Amino acid sequence: MRIASVLTLLAVSGGLTLPLIASADDAEVNLYSARKEALIKPLLDRFTEDTGIEVNLVTGKADALLERLKSEGGNSPADLLVTVDAGNLYRAKEAGLTQAVESETLTKAVPATYRDPEGHWFGLSLRARPIMYATDRVDPEELSTYEALADERWHKRICIRSSSNVYNQSLVASIIAANGAEATEEWAQAIVANMARPPQGGDRDQIKAVAAGQCDIAIANTYYLAGMLKSDDPGALEPAQQVAVFWPNQSGAGDARGTHVNVSGATLLKSSRNQDAAVKLMEFLLTPKSQAWYADTNGEYPVLAGVGMSPVLAAWGEFEADDLDLVQLGQGNAEAVKLMDRAGWK
């Protein structure tokens, strides 16, 4: 696939204190979201303006929200879960927390690769995880594929975050799907040997480390770089201006399966007592206006075809995305985690 150039009631931090939120008798949707409030609330406000349906928002870390839903069980007030990474969506389904949605609008809007085949979850935005490099120290002609980062030329030159990070787990799961577990474990061992430092911090920290000369290349999600480039903070803007994006695994680069992509997505919860309103919200988040807002504000790529991108994303050009069915990222997660552990990826 080629990609062209509401109230906050509780911030969940692992606790299980239950807020009092909407009942099924109200025209409302109770949403648990791993997206930060600023990255979703404006869309929820627009949805309320358009439909009159209020959205009660609970935000928190993905793992904490999943544990909360498990604890609440059938008594959960939540109707909808919005979370990041197909691995998290897969885990929610496997835990028996979700239910299938029959919506022609959703199935037409979201390519099959980016949704659950049984209709339990649907991608809302695409998140690419390419290579980022120091423009003053790396010739992009040296770069080609994720696999080539195992080469000795990158010894002590790579920054990447921890193996506990689900984004890296999904990346490794995609490489397992492409190359098999044995070859991927050898690759992971080489990546560990090529790390400039032990994994630490988030994706922004990897980008800043490249700019600071602690490493020459990093693997990071593009929306982090997009946010830094749009920032008024020199501490974010200046490092971002010193790195560039390289799209790995493109045509003519050996393994040309495309750059690894993932999704943020939504799933209807089995506990939902406001199902019709919840599905309406899912459909609203996949309208052209909502998708354009995602692209411009969040620095993520639209799932819906034909939606334009922000100038920042457009400047990085078109790229071929891996067309791997994202369900495989969830299915391969456990093996990826074990493999990374054996490889010494901290």
145 pairs with which residues across the strands? Answer: none
| Count of all residues that appear for the chain in the document | 346
**What does pTM read for this prediction?**
0.87
Is the pLDDT assigned to residue 204 strictly greater than 70?
yes
Q: Which token pair is 266?
A: 């939504």
Residue 223 forms part of a structural domain? yes
The average pLDDT across 260-267 equals 95
Residues 104 and 215 in one domain: no
Residues 336 and 193 in one domain: yes
Residue 205 forms part of a structural domain? yes
Share of the chain above pLDDT 70, in %: 92
Question: Phi and psi dihedrals of 138, rounded to 5?
Answer: -125, 130
The average pLDDT across 305-312 equals 85
Residues 35 and 74 in one domain: yes
- pLDDT tier at 133 (50, 70, 90 boundaries)? very high
Residue 74 forms part of a structural domain? yes
Residues 338 and 210 in one domain: yes
Residues 80 and 110 in one domain: yes
pLDDT tens, 21-55? 444 445 899 999 998 888 889 999 999 999 999 99
Measured distance CA(155)–CA(196) in Å, rounded: 8
The average pLDDT across 212-232 equals 95
Residue 13 is predicted with a pLDDT of 36
- Whole domain around residue 24: which residue ranges? 6-126+263-308
Residue 54 forms part of a structural domain? yes
Overall number of domains in the chain: 2
pLDDT tens, 165-187? 999 999 999 999 999 999 999 99
The average pLDDT across 48-71 equals 94
268 pairs with which residues across the strands? Answer: 80
More confident residue, 26 or 74: 74
Q: Which token pair is 322?
A: 């891996």
Closest CA to 341 of 187, 203, 164: 164
Residue 4 is predicted with a pLDDT of 46
- pLDDT tier at 298 (50, 70, 90 boundaries)? confident
More confident residue, 21 or 64: 64
Residues 301 and 190 in one domain: no
Taking CA atoms, 157 is separated from 6, 25, 64, 154, 163, in Å, by 44, 58, 34, 5, 18
Contacts of 93 (CB under 8 A, 6+ apart): 116, 120, 121, 267, 330
Residues 103 and 183 in one domain: no
Residues 92 and 38 in one domain: yes
Residues 203 and 67 in one domain: no
Residue 295 is predicted with a pLDDT of 83
Is the pLDDT assigned to residue 12 strictly greater than 80?
no
Residues 274 and 250 in one domain: no
Q: Give me the chain's average pLDDT, please.
A: 90
E strands of 105-195, at which residues?
121-128, 131-134, 158-159
Residue 318 forms part of a structural domain? no
CATH number of the domain that residue 35 is part of: 3.40.190.10
The average pLDDT across 328-334 equals 92
Is the pLDDT assigned to residue 220 strictly greater than 90?
yes
Residues 195 and 338 in one domain: yes
Measured distance CA(298)–CA(226) in Å, rounded: 8
The average pLDDT across 10-27 equals 41
Contacts of 36 (CB under 8 A, 6+ apart): 59
Residue 252 is predicted with a pLDDT of 75
Residues 122 and 132 in one domain: no
Residue 322 forms part of a structural domain? no
Residue 1 is predicted with a pLDDT of 55
Q: Which token pair is 131?
A: 């290579």
Residue 207 forms part of a structural domain? yes
Residue 287 forms part of a structural domain? yes
